[in-house]
Structure formats: C-alpha cells, structure tokens
Structure 1
Amino acid sequence: MSNTVLTRSLRHILGLSLAAGVATASQAALSAPDDRRQTPDWLSLTFDQQTRFEALNQDFEDNERYDHALVARTNLRADMDFESFDVTVELMDSRVFMVEDDTPIGSAMVNPMDFLQAYVELGDEAFSVKLGRFTQDVGARRFMARNRYRNTINAFDGVNAHWQLGDDGALRAFYSFPVERRYKGDPRDNRMKMDRSHANQRFGGLVYENSRLPFGSAGEIYLLSLDEDDAGNLQTRNRQLYSLGARAFRKPSPASYDYELEALVQEGESRKSTAVTDTDTLDHSAQFLHAEVGYMFDAPWQPRLQAHYDYASGDKDASDDENNGLDSLYGVPRGDFGPTGLYRIFIRNNISSPAVRLELQPTASLRLNTELRDARLASVNAASSSTGLTSATPGGERHLGTQLETVLRWQAIPGRLRVETGIAYLWAGSALADQGIDDKYYTYLQTNLRF
C-alpha cells in the first residue's frame, strides 16, 4: 500500500465525511442529554443520522481502481402510546453522493425517503402482535436483521407476534412479505420511488429464546421459511427454503471465558439464478456453522481475545441436480466478515474461515478492535462472487486471502454522538490471484447522531 494512496484516502475521509456529518452532529449536540420533555406523554420522537465516507482501492500494479462514496442515512421515528394500542411510524432516507459513474451501487446504498416501519401493536407484556411494516433481528442477526452498517435497512410487511413465557423464555412468530427497496432511474440521482412488497414472495419464522440455559448461557432455536414463485417484475430464484438453526452463547465478563456456537441446516428447492431462461429447479441442501471462544482479562483496557471459525457451504458440483450454496436470507455479514458498503468481500456462502480478534477498551467511551481472518473456498467447484471470483477455480486453488481489519469507535457524546473509523486490507490468495484479482484495501469514517 503506497503512502500516497493512503494519504489521499485519509484526506478524503477527514475532509468530506467530517464536513458532511461531524460538523452538523456537533452543532446539534453541544449540550449533554437532559430530561426535558418537548412532546406529549403519549408521543416519543427519535432522530438518527448516519454519515459515512468510504473508499476502496484495488488492482494496484496494473490498473489502479479507486472507488469512493459519501453515504447518508436519516431515520425519524415516532412511537405513539395509546390506551388500547400503540402505533410506530419510521421514515428512512438513504442517499449516496460523490460516487463515480462506474462504481457499482444499488439498493444496498440508495432508498430515498420511504416508510421503513409503519405498524400497529396490540397486547401487553405477556402477548403482543404487530400488524404492518416492521424490522426485526433474529439471534445474532446472521439470517434476519435490521441492518446497522449498510446504508439501507431490511423491512417486512406482515404480522409479528411475541409471547413472553415466564421470566426466561419468549416465543416469536411472524409471517411477512419482504419489502423491495426502490429508487427511480440512476441511483446516483437519489430520486424517490415507493417501496413495495410482493404477495408471491413470502418469509416467515418461528423463534424460541431462552435467557437461562446451563453454564450461564442463553440462546435460541429458530425455523425460517422463504417461499417464492414467479414474481412478475421481481425476478427471483424461486426459492422454497426451510432453515433450521440453533445458537447458544455466554456473554463476556472479566476474568472468564465466553463462547458462541450457531449451526444451521437449509433444505428445499431453488434455481441457480434469477434469469428468466433458468428454468431448472434444483434440490437445495446447505449448511452453516459459527464457533467462537473468547476470554476477557481482568486488566486495564479490559482486553478480550477471541478465536472464531465460520463455515458456509458452497455448491459441490455445478452439473448435478443439487444446489449446496448457503443462502443467508436477510442476514448481515458485518459482524463476522468485516465492512460491507463498497467493500463486502466475504459473505456467508462458500467459505471456510478461521479468525482471531482482539478487543480493547482504553476508556469508557473508546473501543478498539483488530481482527486477522483467513478465508478459503468451502468448495472449489463454486464461485465466490463477492470477492470477484465468478467461476470455479480451474487449478483447484482454495485460498481466497487474508484480511486484517481495525476499527476504532469513540462515544464523543454518550447517547448522542458516536464517531467510528476503520481500515480493512485484503492480501489476495492464490484462488483470486490466478484469476487476476489483486489485493485491495478499504477505509471509512462514520458519524452517528441520535436524539
């Protein structure tokens, strides 16, 4: 990595992102949070604004490519508490600026002004049900999540029920139609187009959670179902998938071990692509595993050292009648595999990847995380499209590469303003190098304002 390129990236980040986000955030949050109420008792308003400048460099030797973008996501949420029911309405505006014409962007970055949530909630603490558009996390957010880092957020139209089972257990059931995020014309123009869901794309699930498992653990077991048919203007792979998963974990605490173990099997049918010419329906059979163990030292900076392993199956044979590639549904890769946005190198498909991570907390408002991850193909007969590897490796090479990521988070004004910066560098492995895919690195600076 040349000093010139790195300096240029940092200059862009410090100048542009701070100008767009930090100055506005600081001015709005000059005073510490107080308890003064500006709205009626039945109304609660929340404002969230996330601004991030990100830059991706790649192909250094032959034809250096430099992509950058300034992304901004603004959410305004109103919670209305009436005597017999509650109403939640949340607007989201996601836009992109300062992006080149050849930089690939789409609905993961752009979704101008629309309803993210709009639901009525009935019931009490023992049982409640939401009717309308909602967002939701399931477990560790690997297969259903409300996105944090990505500039747009998954939403669902439907019904979502919650039962509280004593002090330790809870049951959730939902049936929904995933919302298609839309924009008009070129996404760089940030022109509005109403989001919509489709009756022929259905996503449901059943989740049981328990906060008191043996050995001081907690966890959940869940069943997720995705059912698609020919969806008109919405091209799909006609997936009919059933994903059965379970997770157990113990939270970190000083001078003790913690762990997380999650496994999932996925069965059903799917097509390999969304192309209208792809009419062959394949049996679908895939697997997933995440294993993690950590230890937090009772010492200054509260160092926590962790070892991770992630596995997601890839298609074993492109010529047979079975698809073995894991579908991560509506989950997020950020927590395990690093930044998304312009980067998004590793995803939960066709990967076998160990990692070590060190977390430090120098002060109550400052956190520093560093992770070293190695990644290989789970199957040499399938692609790894997020890395740029679009076909099987002819020489049977498995090594995708080694990634080093460092993230610094600062609670500049606790509860109001957070500043985050990070860098990820990928040393391309033999599977990528054989296809002409070189090293790449990604830097970003992000501000989050909330009040």
Structure 2
Amino acid sequence: MLNLGARRLVAADDYRNTTNGYTGARVDLATAQGGSATLIYVLPQQRRPDDEASVLDNDFALDREGFDLQLWGGYGAQRLSKSSFAEIGYFRLRERDRPGRPTRDRDLHSISLRLMRDPAPRRFDYEVEGIWQMGRISASTAATARTLAVAAWFAHADAGYSFPGPLKARLSAEFDYVSGDRPGGAYNRFDTLFGMRRGDFTPAGIFAQTHRANIMTPGLRVEMAPGKRLDLFANWHPMWLASRTDAFSTTGVRDATGRSGRFAGHLLDGRLRWWALPQKLRAEVNASLILKGHFLHEAPNAPDTGDTRYISLAMTANF
C-alpha cells in the first residue's frame, strides 16, 4: 500500500474494505538538510470483479495488475523550518485497453505544489496545495472515440488554530475547488487518480456523492483528541458546481444545459474513533448528511429521494 504526500493522488484509503494496492518499486531518499523524496513505479492493482452483475451476485475473483495500467513519479519535500515545509510532486498515469476491458486510455500528467505548517497548541497553521493536470483522454471507451486534450486543476487551502487544553481542539476554515468539464475542445474534469476521499470530503465505499471532481466548497471543521484512545471531528460544507454543465462531483447528476444552477446543497459530516485495544483494534462511527440544494432537486436526472443520510460503524484490526 502507498500513502504519499497529502494522499490526494496516491493513497491506501483506510476507510473502505477494498483499499488501493500497488505492485512495483518505491525509493525513499533523505538529506541532512531536511530534504526528502519518494519515487515510485507501480502497477495499480485492479479490483475484481468489476462488472455490476458479478458484484450483485457476490461473485469472487482475484485482483490483477498489468502494464495496461501504470503509475510513476513521486514527491520531493524540503523543510523550511521546524514546523513548515514545501513539497513538489509529479505523477504520470498511463492506461490502455486490454481484451474485455475497454478504457478511456488516460495519459495524464499531474504536477503539484504544497506548502504546509504543522498544527501545534497556541499556534496558527495552514496548508495550501495546487495540482495542475494535463495530457490526453478518449471521449468514451469506444475504440473509435476521439482523443481530447486534458486541462484540469485542483486547489485546496485551509487555515487553523489549535487551542491549548486537554481537548486538544483545532478549529479551521477550508476551501476546495476542483475543475469540471466545460464546453469546448479540451477535457477539464479533474481526475484524483488513486487519492483518498476521507481526508477532505466524506467516507468512501457506497456513500460516493462527494469527491475531488467538479465541486467548489468552503467549509468549517472542528477536531478534537481528548485522550490517547479517542479522536473526533465534524465539518460543514456548502457545495457548488465548479462547472454548471458537468455532473456534480461523483453523483452522476447533470444538467448539460446549465439551467439548474450551481448550488448543490449543504454537507454535514463527522467521525468518532476509539482504540478498543491501543494500536491493535479501533472502532469508529461515521455520520453524514447532505441537505440537497436547487441543483440536486431540479437537474433532469436528479433522483427524487430527498436528503441523503449515511451512518456507518467500522472496526479495524492491525496485525
């Protein structure tokens, strides 16, 4: 498994029970002056089965990896002080069809820059990251689909303050902008590759309505760790579409005319974790609520299902 940088492009999602795995090589370097680098060349493991009929029938299949899906690149970081650092990254994803598995033939270059100051009591902290994505992608999985140039981007910023005291509380304001596709010759929808969802948005798995695609959202977050065995957080995000003509985030809800507006609704989300056995067995509760806005009510294919409520219980064992 791999967790690199802020885990927005390459991660092993620690929420879902089908986490991302990778087969390949990793090199870690460090200097006496506070510099570090991680380089990888991997074949991401493709989860099987991946067709709807097999999943619904609870069929079994071994995951696979192959040269039809390759990922390489890495991060370099330099400490600017004891509590702050700068990081630059580059990853390339190459994808092609194989018999029985048509793809969109992604050939993506992702270039990132991140600045961060670590949280500490009685101190302000921050994180700013931007990712520019370019390359090529097929308009569909059809063999005759035309090739589109990619021009997409992502930006995240947050600023917080950690309060002294036994609660170890931190309050932060944050903002995310993730490009969506727009009319024209280029493809503008950002691809988060193998990035994790939970860090900035909601749990992965069956609750798949918000992720790093076509979304603009400010937010407020409060975090606490009142003991060595307990931590929790809660956040609030009003959500808009970055592009009114593309599908909102990962919901699949779209109005190609753009007449349904941009406001998607409000997201309320929280998590509580407790180490039942320290470093060995951890329980957690996740709860999320999406109060749908005008777009998620009025778009042509918006489901008439009311607001979305999600709650999950999980137990994680470390061996």
TM above 0.5: yes
- CA deviation string 1:242-296 (max 9, x = no partner): 110011212211110111111010111112332x256110110011100011101
Query: What amino acid does structure 2 have at the position aligned with 1:398?
Result: R
Deviation at 1:228, TM superposition (A): 2.3
Q: Alignment RMSD, CA only?
A: 2.0
2:314 aligned with 1:446, yes or no?
yes
Q: What is the 5 A alignment of 1:390-401?
A: 390-392=254-256, 394-401=258-265
Matched, 1:231 2:92: no
How far apart, in 2, do the equivalents of 1:309 and 1:356 lie? 9
The residue aligned with 2:175 is 309
Which residue is 2:210 aligned to? Answer: 346
Distance 1:175 1:416, change over 3 A: closer
Say yes or no: does 1:241 pair with 2:108: yes
Matches within 5 A, 1:320-331: 320-331=184-195
Deviations 1:276-333 (A, max 9, x none): 256110110011100011101113412210111011101121xx22101101111111
**Amino acid of the structure 1 residue aligned with 2:229:** S
Specify the alignment match of 1:77 in structure 2: none
What displacement does 1:230 show? 3.3
Q: Name the residue aligned to 2:122.
A: 255
Q: In the alignment, which residue of structure 2 is the partner of 1:294?
A: 160
Could you list the per-position Cα deviations for residues 375-431 of structure 1 after superposition, in whole angstroms to 9, with x for gaps in the alignment?
110011211262241443541410111011121111222112211112111000111
Q: TM-score, normalised by structure 2?
A: 0.91
Q: 1:177 to 1:415 in 2, by over 3 A?
A: closer
Q: Identity of paired residues, percent?
A: 35
Task: Number of aligned residue pairs: give it.
Answer: 313
Contact 2:74–2:91, Cα closer than 8 Å, also in 1: yes
Is 1:334 aligned with 2:198? yes
Shift in Å, 1:363: 2.9
Larger Rg: 1
Say which structure is richer in helix. 1
For residues 138-157 of structure 1, the aligned pairs below 5 Å read: 138-157=4-23
C-alpha deviations, 1:194-216, integer Å up to 9, x for none? Answer: 22222232211132123x21473
- Do the aligned partners of 1:272 and 1:278 also contact (CA within 8 Å) in 2? no
Mapping of 1:210-221 within 5 angstroms? 210=78, 212-214=79-81, 216-221=83-88
| Alpha-carbon distance in structure 2 between the residues aligned to 1:217 and 1:280 | 45
Secondary structure of the residue aligned to 1:334 is coil
Task: Provide the rounded CA distance (Å) in 2 between the counterparts of 1:374 and 1:143.
Answer: 24
Q: Which moved more, 1:212-221 or 1:299-308?
A: 212-221
Q: Is the 8 A contact 1:376 1:401 kept in 2?
A: yes
Q: CA offsets, 1:72-125, max 9 Å, x none? A: xxxxxxxxxxxxxxxxxxxxxxxxxxxxxxxxxxxxxxxxxxxxxxxxxxxxxx
Partner of residue 94, structure 1: none
Cα offset for 1:447? 1.2
- Of the candidates 296, 315, 319, which is equivalent to residue 432 of structure 1? 296
* Distance (whole Å) between structure 1 residues aligned to residue 40 and residue 245 of structure 2: 36
- Residue equivalent to 2:250: 386
Rounded Cα–Cα distance in structure 2 between residues aligned with 1:175 and 1:192:
28
Q: 1:158 to 1:417 in 2, by over 3 A?
A: closer
Give ranges in structure 2 of 5+ residues lacking alignment.
Answer: none
- Give the distance between the partners of 2:179 and 2:72, measured in 1 at CA: 23
Letter in 2 for 1:316: R
Structure 2 contact 96–105 (Cα < 8 Å) conserved:
yes
Q: Indicate if the aligned counterparts of 1:160 and 1:172 stay in contact, CA closer than 8 A.
A: yes
Per the TM alignment, residue 189 of structure 1 is displaced from its structure 2 partner at its CA by 5.0
The 1:322–1:389 alpha-carbon spacing in structure 2 relative to 1, beyond 3 Å, is same
Pick the aligned partner of 1:165 from 31, 52, 58: 31
1:183/1:382 Cα in 2 relative to 1: closer, same or farther (>3 Å)? Answer: closer
Q: Return the alpha-carbon distance in structure 2 between the equivalents of residues 439 and 278 of structure 1.
A: 40
Query: Which residue pairs with 1:183 in the alignment?
Result: 49
CA distance 1:363–1:199, change in 2 (3 Å): closer
- Indicate conservation of the 8 Å contact 2:139/2:145, yes or no: no
Q: Which residue of 2 aligns with 1:271?
A: 138
Write the deviation string for residues 112-150 of structure 1: whole angstroms up to 9, x where unpaired. xxxxxxxxxxxxxxxxxxxxxxx2112110001112111
Residues 164-173 or 332-341, more deviating: 164-173
TM norm structure 1: 0.66
Check 1:393–1:424 CA distance in 2 against 1; reply closer, same or farther (3 A cut). farther
Deviations 1:143-184 (A, max 9, x none): 011121112122223222222233522222222222211139
Show CA shifts across 1:427-450 (max 9, x none): 001111103443110001111223
